[in-house]
Amino acid sequence: MLRKQEIRMKEQEKKKKGNLWLTVATFIVNKRKAIEILFVLAIIYSVLCINKVQVNQDITSYLPADSETRQGLSIMDEQFMTYGSAKVMLANVTFNQADSLVDSLENVDGVKEVAFDDSSDHFKGTNALFDITFSGTSDEQVSKDALNSVKDILADYDVYVSTEVGSEESSAESLAKDMNIILVLAVVVIVAVLLLSTKAYLQIPVLLITFGVAAILNMGTNYWFGTISSITNSIAVVLQLALAIDYAIILCDRFMEEHETLDAEEAVKVALSKAIPEISSSSLTTISGMVAMMFMQFRLGYDMGIILVKAIILSLISVFFLMPGVLLIFAKGIDKTHHKCYVPKITIVGKFANKTKYIIPPLFIICLVFAFMKSNNCQYIYDTSSIVSAKKSESKIAQETIEETFGASNQLVVMVPKGDYESEHKVVKKLQNLDYVTSALALSNVSINDEYVLTDKLSPRQFSELVGIDREVVEVLYMAYAYNQEQYGPVVTGIDDYDVPIIDMFLFLYDQYKEGYVTLDSNLDEKLTTLYDTLHDAQLQLQGSDYSRLVLNISLPVEGQETYDALEEIRGIAAQYYSKDSVILVGNSTSDHDLESSFASDNIIISVLTALFVMIILFFTFQSAGLPVLLVLTIQGSIWINFAVPSIEGQTVFFIAYLIVSAIQMGATIDYAIVISNRYLQLKQQMPLKEAITETLNQSFPTIFTSGSILTCAGFLIGEIASDATVASIGVALGRGTLISIILVLFVLPQILLMGDIIIEKTALTMNITRPQREVAGRVRVTGHVRGYVQGEIDADIQGTFQGQMKVSVDSVIPGRQGQIEQNDLDSQQISEDDDIEDNKAQEGDEES
């Protein structure tokens, strides 16, 4: 008896350890009221924080910190003034009509300058183009107000406006409207899919509430990061919905299964205890894809990766802690709204797999090689203006219309060390002689009159004649300037031959005048003030504390090898007079060049890390070396096929779409392959391989249909509706990629599993080999850890009696012992752990008799 009690105590101890998740689930369900209060508080906090999230519209700010464009933009922001500008085109007007509007436009508060003449640069056919410069930067309110006034003046005309002024706000508003429409349509699609795949109508509000809370929490907690990109902000909710709704569906299905034999509360506890490890392991592959994005040099990957990882984690938290309570609230309604699952069986696909198991895999390998080559030859683009999208924003339409009429404008800034006006003049002169440079602006070619430019050096006599100040006063001024610059030689040898650049002397004169050291009459006062405004304005735009800025317009595409070669030629010319490291080029072309450079390394990082993370997870999941390779190869093949499609069609792919979608596609759709593989490995132990693969597809299809259709529809909705070209390109690639993944896991992976079954078996780890299973029938008394099928799957420590048939393996709950299966003559079986237990049970049986 003592021995028996000891065994029972050890059995109970092991049961407690094995029921860890049931303990956790019980705690969550019992404390659901308190948990719901915490969720309410978190929702209130998140709602208050949503509007505080700063959204960054500037994609160049995510370039690597050591990239030339990022450094150049930082210098320009710190040292230069860049006025806001706009190109405004009027269609169907005469030249006189357009010319008559110039004065009205110039009189608008906040408009600094309006450039318009009868040249082909400003008037073609019946189209007039105004180049308007505002008094503030693109972000300042004075420029935005002036732009609105300009639009009001031209409201009666057919007008097209291309500008950066206020573009962030208008783009954000437009994209927000688009994403709201997309979200509503996505919810409609989800509801439609769930109506087909669920077993009760009131399961749907449970799922939507769970997801809605997770989405709100994610949007609100974005505030923790201060600023996120507009791309991440716009698509995170839809991607969260598509990627994470599976978790809620899994728990809901578990609940429905358990609720068939248990009351609602107990069913939730058991369902949650089973769902926590299943959902957690399922989420790892998706999270791994997002984590891989965070290693990109282009920091947009980090921005999107960390937000989506947070989204998935918050979705898990909502499912594990909130959903059990919501299920209990709707439990009675769920019981009353049962309906059959309308997702059909796909037995025909299983039969197709068996008939083509030696045909499809070789064809897939050939297709894989072809897709790899085509995807590598895909033409990637790096400029958002080059993206072709289904829907175009108003600003995009205006830009394209103006470029079609007056040609594209590609502006390039060359920054060189400040102060050497002579070298600057030589550089500008050489750059102007290049065929593709249509204009060049620098201090060294800004004219004062027909005779001088700003950087020309003048003697005291020449300067006196230019400004109309007595020569004696000017000589004193020159001496003061020499002292100020610590140049004492001219003071000793004579100031008459001391030459000073016009701009430097003008600005020095104005400072001395303001300090009261120089007195001028009213006419000279007005003239000096006017000149100072002009010169100071030029200095703000073209001269900083350390650098001078040369502004070029080039007649080349924004991106392409021809343009990049031109950039190197321009850099080489500047390097003849300055050190190469001190010459900085900034513009859309340099930005695209830097993006192309980072893309090469980021592409490798994404591909390698995503595949590596996923294979490690699969290795520990299946404890097989061969199976992870087969699964990753299938999904990687879908990625190559995805981006081979635009290559075959002669279309371009925006590089961000490739990087982000390849990570999401691998991380998310590998789950479909895992579902099929897992079912197949289980079923092939119970039935022949042909039947196992058919039943596998029938059991897996509802899961793949639900998740895959949602992600596919979400992607295509984004691609068709989003007006932001970057967001749209991501959506199209994601929708197409998910659809391809679904096709491959249904019509290619089963054949690979059948043909590669020997590889799976040979590469399985020893720890993965389960004990042999035996079939037993009749009335059976079981004591021990049983794994197998008893009118359904079983994997548990059991002590009790069963009537019927079972196919099981038995392990002892006592270390070092081995389970046994014995059959007696009365067609019943006694499953025991060891001879001692068997003897004790036999004695008990005799006493009972």
Q: What is the pLDDT of residues 688-739, one digit of tens each?
A: 888 889 999 998 888 888 888 888 988 898 888 888 888 888 889 999 999 9
Given a cut of 90, whether residue 831 has pLDDT beyond it is no
| pLDDT number for residue 58 | 80
Phi-psi region of 477 (alpha: psi -120 to 50; beta: other; left: phi over 0): alpha
Given a cut of 60, whether residue 834 has pLDDT beyond it is no
Q: Which residue has the tokens 């008939």?
A: 355
The mean per-residue pLDDT over the stretch 159-183 comes to: 81
Q: Which residue has the tokens 């230019």?
A: 466
Q: What is the pLDDT of residues 184-195, one digit of tens each?
A: 888 888 888 888
What CA–CA distance (Å, rounded) separates 430 from 569?
11
Domains of the chain, earliest start first: 1-62+198-342 (1.20.1640.10), 85-164 (3.30.70.100), 406-557 (no CATH), 771-848 (no CATH)
Higher pLDDT, 790 or 686: 686
Rg of the chain in Å (alpha carbons): 37
Q: What is the pLDDT of residues 685-698, one digit of tens each?
A: 888 888 889 999 99
Quick check: 716 and 732 in contact, CB under 8 A? Answer: yes
185: three-class secondary structure by DSSP: helix
The size of the chain, in residues, is 849
Higher pLDDT, 4 or 367: 367
Higher pLDDT, 535 or 355: 355
Confidence of residue 849 (pLDDT cuts 50, 70, 90): very low
The mean per-residue pLDDT over the stretch 265-269 comes to: 91
Higher pLDDT, 656 or 363: 363
What CA–CA distance (Å, rounded) separates 587 from 72?
9
What CA–CA distance (Å, rounded) separates 103 from 122?
16
The mean per-residue pLDDT over the stretch 469-497 comes to: 82
The mean per-residue pLDDT over the stretch 43-49 comes to: 94
| pLDDT number for residue 154 | 92
Q: What is the pLDDT of residues 629-640, one digit of tens each?
A: 888 888 889 999
Phi-psi region of 116 (alpha: psi -120 to 50; beta: other; left: phi over 0): beta
Neighbour tally for 181: CB within 10 Å: 13
Given a cut of 90, whether residue 367 has pLDDT beyond it is yes
Neighbour tally for 626: CB within 10 Å: 17
Q: What is the pLDDT of residues 297-312, one digit of tens each?
A: 888 889 989 999 999 9
What CA–CA distance (Å, rounded) separates 344 from 137?
60
What CA–CA distance (Å, rounded) separates 300 from 384?
14
How far is C-alpha 789 from the geometric centre of its chain's CA atoms?
44
Given a cut of 80, whether residue 764 has pLDDT beyond it is no
Confidence of residue 417 (pLDDT cuts 50, 70, 90): very high
Given a cut of 80, whether residue 292 has pLDDT beyond it is yes
User: Which DSSP string do the residues of 327-357 spell out, in sequence order?
Assistant: HHHHHHHHHHTB----PPP-HHHHHHHHHTT
Work out whether strand 379-381 and strand 652-654 pair parallel, antiparallel, or are unpaired. Answer: parallel
- The helix (run of H) or strand (run of E) holding residue 112 is strand 111-115
Confidence of residue 6 (pLDDT cuts 50, 70, 90): low
The mean of the pLDDT values for the chain is: 82
Which of the residue ranges 57-61, 97-101, 116-120 would you say has the lowest mean pLDDT? 57-61
499: three-class secondary structure by DSSP: coil
- The helix (run of H) or strand (run of E) holding residue 822 is strand 820-823
| pLDDT number for residue 795 | 56
What CA–CA distance (Å, rounded) separates 781 from 630?
42
Given a cut of 50, whether residue 838 has pLDDT beyond it is no
Given a cut of 70, whether residue 830 has pLDDT beyond it is no
Q: Cα 544–550–556 angle (5° rounding)?
A: 145
Per-residue tokens: 90: 């009027």
Per-residue tokens: 151: 């639009």
Confidence of residue 142 (pLDDT cuts 50, 70, 90): very high
Which of the residue ranges 143-157, 425-439, 530-544 would you say has the lowest mean pLDDT? 530-544
| pLDDT number for residue 801 | 59
Neighbour tally for 215: CB within 10 Å: 22
Given a cut of 70, whether residue 3 has pLDDT beyond it is no
| pLDDT number for residue 775 | 60
Q: What is the pLDDT of residues 218-244, one digit of tens each?
A: 999 999 988 888 888 888 888 887 778
| pLDDT number for residue 815 | 40
The mean per-residue pLDDT over the stretch 604-623 comes to: 85
Given a cut of 50, whether residue 827 has pLDDT beyond it is no
Given a cut of 50, whether residue 441 has pLDDT beyond it is yes
Confidence of residue 414 (pLDDT cuts 50, 70, 90): very high
Given a cut of 90, whether residue 770 has pLDDT beyond it is no
Phi-psi region of 96 (alpha: psi -120 to 50; beta: other; left: phi over 0): alpha
| pLDDT number for residue 245 | 78
DSSP count for the chain of H helices, then E strands: 31, 19
The mean per-residue pLDDT over the stretch 563-585 comes to: 91
Q: pTM for the complete prediction?
A: 0.75
Higher pLDDT, 57 or 523: 57
| pLDDT number for residue 791 | 56
Q: Which of 649, 658, 654, 645 is nearest to 743 (CA)?
A: 645
Quick check: 218 and 236 in contact, CB under 8 A? Answer: yes
Greatest Cα-to-Cα distance within the chain, rounded to the nearest angstrom:
136
Confidence of residue 829 (pLDDT cuts 50, 70, 90): very low
Given a cut of 90, whether residue 18 has pLDDT beyond it is no
Confidence of residue 520 (pLDDT cuts 50, 70, 90): low
User: Which alpha helices (DSSP H) does 558-688 contain, by range?
Assistant: 561-575, 588-622, 626-649, 655-683
Quick check: 715 and 736 in contact, CB under 8 A? Answer: yes
Share of the chain above pLDDT 70, in %: 87
25-49 exposure pattern, b = at least 16 Cβ within 10 A, e = fewer: bbebbeebeebeeebeebeeebeee
User: Residue 368: phi, psi to the nearest 5?
Assistant: -65, -45
